[in-house]
Amino acid sequence: MQQQSRFLDRTTAPHIVSLVAVAGLSALTMNIFLPALPAMALDLRVDYDRVQVLVSGYIAMTALVQLVIGPLSDRYGRRPVMIGALLILIVSSLVCLIASSIEVLTFARMIQTAVVAGLVLSRAIIRDMVPMDEAASMIGYVTMGMTLIPMIGPTLGGVLSDNFGWRSNFAAILIAALAVLLLVYRDLGETNRQKSGSFSEQFRAWPRLLASPRFWGYTMAGTFTSGAFFAFLGGAPFVGGTLMGLTPSMLGLQFMFIAAGYIAGNYLSGRFARRAGIDMMMLVGGVVALVGAAIPIVLFLQGYDSSLAFFAPQVVVGFGNGLSLPSTNAGIVSVRPELAGSASGLGGAITMGGGAFVSWLASRILSVETGAMPLLLVMLACCILALVAVVFLRYAPGEER
């Protein structure tokens, strides 16, 4: 049954604005300081790969955190887990702000991953509120709104870094976390009406999810679709900042290409997922992303290796991801609706774990000698494997149907 919501009434389901805010804060925390990575390495006197761990290590840590967030929210509720995660983010952001060594900064950065609760719980809350096909549509709208926040994140981070130094990025995260905490406290009512009997019961339920072919199909489709984006996050700062000599501000602007495509895809997903069905949305989105990943490879092979040739086609990749990811997420939490929180956490953990590996791989295989081509090939491979997973889903048995 669909749950009704009233804005700023914590006795009802949360308003869509609150879901956008908690999910957007998760994305903002991940990407705001990307243009400042070269400056951070210089200031802390470490190699680039040491500060890049703040990206790949962060993504890996979110995978572990999601394994706990989902079951915690199924056992104790979405509201207390979300509030606790925001408090942890506030404290860890303070430590990042004053850190004087890469070791302390890395440790605090890993603790910041508690904010991934915003991504996990926004999906679980939506599945608490509405049925599967409607959930895909609502997730599309939430993700579209969420993308507005991190869409300007790297741009804002680049401007802050140029004018106030890289630490100002963590000050911005701290301020945003305080604002979202106030909103969540006032608006996020509990939606989990079927809390599990014990925390361990959720982990014992994992075999039911892992034994589901459709759970694996949706999860792999999400993993490889996201993998193209995570590869971009891992390698684009090096490509833009080191290979192409862009300033942090200019590099931040380049991230708007993939974000703009993503938000457009999310909008169309919100409009058409209910009518077209999630399987069709994933197929169309996968094909579009594949085309987008191939365009810069063709351009580079033809000798067009400018920053525009690298960054502009990412709008097509983002568009394809925006079409497909809301549906993969809706599928993950709908295989076993009674385990929506655990499914969101487990599926998210696998997705982020794969993303962490791809992000690390993209940063490791890039060098001044290789240029940007290895990164482009990794993104292309991810898009191909995502389509393979979508085709697999067309023949997998349907537990949730």
Q: What is the reported pLDDT for 17?
A: 86
Q: Map residue 288 onto helix, strand or coil.
A: helix
CATH code, 16-191+206-393: 1.20.1250.20
Q: What is the reported pLDDT for 325?
A: 86
Q: Which regions of the chain are under pLDDT 50?
A: 1, 400-401
Q: Minimal CA–CA distance to 336: which of 210, 192, 197? A: 210
Q: What is the reported pLDDT for 268?
A: 87
Q: What is the pLDDT of residues 67-101, one digit of tens each?
A: 788 778 878 888 999 999 999 999 999 999 999 89
The residue ranges of every structural domain in the chain are 16-191+206-393
Please report, to the nearest 10 degrees, the dihedral formed by the alpha carbons of residues 132, 18, 26, 254 taken in order.
90
Q: What is the reported pLDDT for 400?
A: 46
Q: Minimal CA–CA distance to 286: which of 304, 305, 265? A: 265
Whole-angstrom distance, CA of residue 358 vs CA of residue 234: 8
Q: Minimal CA–CA distance to 235: which of 243, 245, 225? A: 243
Token code pair at residue 352? 């982020």
Whole-angstrom distance, CA of residue 132 vs CA of residue 333: 8
Q: What is the reported pLDDT for 154?
A: 82
Q: What is the pLDDT of residues 178-207, one digit of tens each?
A: 999 999 999 988 888 777 666 666 667 778
Token code pair at residue 162? 């140029």
